Structure 1
């Protein structure tokens, strides 16, 4: 069976995250510039091969000062590590519409294996004849696992920035001719 290449549709995708601020509210952000692709056997996503990269300079939390701090050496160090990347090693079907995605996430020169549950929305044809597939990924990582250690203690106890980063990723891929 022939392999099929799928490319990200950035106008219908979003790479989002949330982190606790001052231990009780969430700050949301997203990456504005990214690329992703998938390789499948035919149109079956069983054992699909995914790759993803995001430009650190495109981080957006709706606050220019915070975004600048996130790009600095205290966090992502965008000057020396301009991209974060992900390369899958497995995409296993759990049951109808549910998969588990495993792969290596590389942030700031540190690579760690991660697993995320994926909701597979199915394959559809849009009004212009393009074959598309939708995926939703929600997961958690600990930012300190990748050396994103900066924090500040609060006078009331606790810390300014939570360690857990919750991912909320919506991906739409387009089948390539």
Structure 2
């Protein structure tokens, strides 16, 4: 019984040691998208106000859980009139559904630095599972501002969703494409443990 107790305590201590939280560096990250207008040209946009974090119990982030939220009212396509239309009930209805969120349910390595990220995307009051392709860089230790050593990691996620799956807009697809390409870049910094504590 004593041996079992020691084993449980050791396992708990090990898990606590490697529990990690990573926060997004917003100055070096972007939550973007691309749609096609009139079947002719691509229009790029992004959400200027967003937040994201990663939690993981493994040092290599192979079991990472991603959480992201974005303010729909911060949508930006470099055109005020278009942005206003996208916020209206014709599309996102930002007054009624002011945020979109994503939380991962699976993060699996494909090969090398490539991963498959699966999670629940909630947008316009609708939640659907989505799958994204991810390229991970790091984790790597480097000196930040002030010379303090930090652990950082970078992620590039991409995938395609259909706005009709989320009831976003009734505009015909010949005007605005149904398929929307997601392009999310994130740089994250480990928050809850100094590198020195690992040595």
Output the TM-score relative to the length of structure 1: 0.93
Matched, 1:115 2:131: yes
Q: How does 1:90-105 map to 2 (within 5 A)?
A: 90-105=106-121
Residue in 1 that maps onto 2:162:
142
Cα offset for 1:88?
Answer: 0.7
SS of 2:96's equivalent in the other structure is coil
Residue in 1 that maps onto 2:20:
4
Matched, 1:74 2:94: no
After the TM superposition, list the runs of 4 or more consecutive aligned residues in structure 1 that deviate by more than 6 angstroms.
none
Matched, 1:62 2:78: yes
SS of 2:164's equivalent in the other structure is helix
Residue in 2 that maps onto 1:19:
35
Larger Rg: 2
C-alpha distance in structure 1 between counterparts of 2:152 and 2:63, whole Å: 18
CA distances 1:98-151 after superposition (whole Å, capped 9, x unpaired): 111001000011000011110011212333222110000111001110001321
Q: Which has the higher contact order (CA 8 A, sep 6+)?
A: 1
Residue in 2 that maps onto 1:174:
189
C-alpha distance in structure 1 between counterparts of 2:58 and 2:37, whole Å: 44
Residue in 1 that maps onto 2:101:
85
Whose helix fraction is larger, Structure 1's or Structure 2's? 2
Q: How does 1:145-160 map to 2 (within 5 A)?
A: 145-152=165-172, 159-160=174-175
Residue in 2 that maps onto 1:155:
none
Output the TM-score relative to the length of structure 2: 0.83
SS of 1:74's equivalent in the other structure is coil
